[in-house]
Structure 1
Amino acid sequence: MPDTPAPADTAVTLECRNVWKLFGPEAQGFLAGQTAAPGLEAIRAAGLVGAVQDVSLAVREGECFVIMGLSGSGKSTLVRCMSRLIEPTAGEILFNGENLLAARPDRMIEIRRHRMGMVFQHFALLPHLTVLGNVAFPLEVRGVARAEREARAREVVDLVGLAGREGFFPRELSGGQQQRVGIARSLAGDPELWFLDEPFSALDPLIRREMQDEFLRLQAILKKTIVFITHDFDEAIRLADRIAIMKDGRVVQIGTPEDLVMNPASDYVAEFTRNVVRAKVLKARSLMAPLDAETLPEGTADVAASATVAEIAPLLSEGAERLRVLDGSGAPVGLIRREAVVDVMMRG
């Protein structure tokens, strides 16, 4: 299961080590009696369902880590195991080094209330509460004083673009606005770790695109550590720093969107990514030549190393022959020639 190496100084917020979730009688006993990780056929022969099988992964601080797969692949079960909304059958789940599977129930309640935020596909807003009341509700459960919780709720309502609608009830809002309320509610407690389980899949395509834009805007401001579940690869490559693809309860590959598209580890991953437009995935850093290869004319346009070919192409259509590539600190690190971009665009 190839993964993209992390920078040496990158902290890990959440780590799964050999996590299993088997549904059925005597699942723990079955696993304990195995000398090696059982395969799917052995699990089925024992009358069990292998929802999550031997999953190991690490979510880095400040990244958006997307878990994706088809329906029944185990992605939603895995994210519920991460927060212990479902009890894993075996393994370890470490949150900032603390093993959540060893935590007492009251400790888990404290962690979920104060350090985790969750958004699900179904908005689950309380119909008798206003926008402000829904957003402030998690803080009310914590026992936060009314003035303080409403002040915080107003901050996040404004953050998600719903200022002026604090007194509206859920029935008076559109689907996209209701999901914004759900997002605001999950952010009210300023969580360190943010779980989003297919939060936009029930929305119409145009509203879904709008909510993806909103998500990217919020992440640029908040820089949360995020675990995001989706079955839509276009959504995944737009939002993710890294992606884990699941099949039959197992993680089959982890990597950046570019890694998965250009270097699929299996036929399954290759099929998953087959129709992806490469220009939306390939980054400037992948196409650039050394900066000292030639002198660039004055006025040469700059592009970020993280910019996609699709984002770069309009600059070249305006007549530029070369672009200077800048790293995250704004330092020049390379150049891109028009022909390299044209080649990618022509090959799709």
Structure 2
Amino acid sequence: MTSTPLGLTVEEASLAYQGTPLFENLSLTLSPSSWCCLLGRSGCGKSSLLRLIAGLDTSKGAKVRLSDHAGNALPAQAFAWMAQQDALFPWLSVIENLLLGDRLQGQSKSSARRAEAIALLETLNLADKAEARPYVLSGGQRQRVALARTLMRPSPIVLMDEPFSAVDAITRYDLHQLATSLLSDRTVLMVTHDPGEALHLSDRILVLSPSGRLAPFDCGGPPKALSLSQRADAEQELITLLGHQ
């Protein structure tokens, strides 16, 4: 369970790589319980921006100011992270991977938290894998476990770095359905290379250019609310836009 939904305001986000700026003084604002996708050409700094927001980049010259929709500072606990690779610990069982965050934070083992994890695995059709090691799972199952681990954190803001790119199209569709349902009360910022995925999942799309500029993509309304034909037109427009960057 999460607490009251929070929005996210990012200000003065700046980052350089080997002395060359990737981006400077970027800002963005996300409404509570919204889903925003971040697109851009490879190497433009999308994942770097996400890592900066998550507090994972502490290199010299990296800076950012973060607050919620009411202007309050956000602690590290406000963010949950889901990467492209599932990063499951191979020597731990599925249930142990889900409860690892509790252990790392010094929380004692709780039957209530274990029951919560089992219930989540049931929702994801993985209850029979609770005691299995990750190596026996398929790629799609491992990503569902990674999603479950993200959900086990009560963080109201979820940062996702191409979390569905390593699975096949059918599995990706299933993960989309699960993620939009299970994350409906959280604020999501997700990096993707796939315009179709962004249009299917998001309320809003932002495009980061190789020159370090961040701009909204206007497709005439919330992307995921478009009709199939409107979405097809918007996808082609996005592909053209990215191709000209």
TM-score (norm 2): 0.81
Which residue of the partner structure matches residue 234 of structure 1?
A: 196
Q: Report the secondary structure of 2:129's partner residue.
A: coil
Counterparts of 2:183 and 2:9, CA distance in 1: 21
- Structure 1 residue 165: deviation in Å? 1.6
1:197 and 2:115 correspond: no
- Structure 1 residue 217: deviation in Å? 2.5
Note closer, same or farther for the CA distance 1:91–1:187 as it changes in structure 2 (3 Å cut): closer
- Structure 1 residue 70: deviation in Å? 1.5
Which residue of the partner structure matches residue 78 of structure 2?
A: 115
| 2:122 alignment partner, one of 155, 158, 161 | 158
Q: Report the secondary structure of 1:139's partner residue.
A: helix
Higher RCO, Cα 8 Å, sep 6+:
2
Q: Report the secondary structure of 2:117's partner residue.
A: helix
- Structure 1 residue 206: deviation in Å? 2.2
- Output one character per residue of 1:183-237: Cα deviation in whole Å (capped at 9) or x when no partner: 11111122111111100111122222221122222234xx211111101100000
Note closer, same or farther for the CA distance 1:165–1:69 as it changes in structure 2 (3 Å cut): same
Counterparts of 2:62 and 2:227, CA distance in 1: 44
TM-score (norm 1): 0.59
1:250 and 2:244 correspond: no
- Output one character per residue of 1:30-75: Cα deviation in whole Å (capped at 9) or x when no partner: xxxxxxxxxxxxxxxxxx2222222111011000011111211111
Number of matched pairs: 224
| 2:227 alignment partner, one of 309, 312, 318 | 309
Counterparts of 2:104 and 2:51, CA distance in 1: 21
User: What code does the residue aligned with 2:191 have?
Assistant: I
User: What code does the residue aligned with 2:102 have?
Assistant: L
Which residue of the partner structure matches residue 25 of structure 2?
A: 54
| 1:22 alignment partner, one of 5, 16, 19 | 16
Which residue of the partner structure matches residue 7 of structure 2?
A: 13
User: What code does the residue aligned with 1:193 have?
Assistant: I
Structure whose CA Rg is larger: 1
Which residue of the partner structure matches residue 104 of structure 2?
A: 141
Counterparts of 2:114 and 2:6, CA distance in 1: 33
Q: Report the secondary structure of 1:250's partner residue.
A: coil
Counterparts of 1:61 and 1:95, CA distance in 2: 9
- Matching of residues 41-80 of structure 1 within 5 Å: 48-80=19-51
| 1:172 alignment partner, one of 131, 136, 146 | 136
Q: Report the secondary structure of 1:200's partner residue.
A: coil
Counterparts of 1:90 and 1:190, CA distance in 2: 26
| 2:62 alignment partner, one of 89, 104, 112 | 89
Structure 1, unaligned runs of 5 or more: 1-10, 25-47, 101-110, 261-280, 284-305, 312-340
Counterparts of 1:160 and 1:309, CA distance in 2: 28
Q: Report the secondary structure of 2:50's partner residue.
A: helix
Counterparts of 1:124 and 1:244, CA distance in 2: 27
Structure 2, unaligned runs of 5 or more: 238-245
Q: CA RMSD in A?
A: 2.6
Counterparts of 2:91 and 2:128, CA distance in 1: 19
Q: Among the aligned pairs, what percent are the same residue?
A: 26
Counterparts of 2:211 and 2:95, CA distance in 1: 39
- Structure 1 residue 84: deviation in Å? 1.5
- Structure 1 residue 158: deviation in Å? 2.3
User: What code does the residue aligned with 1:245 have?
Assistant: V
Which residue of the partner structure matches residue 240 of structure 2?
A: none
- Structure 1 residue 139: deviation in Å? 1.3
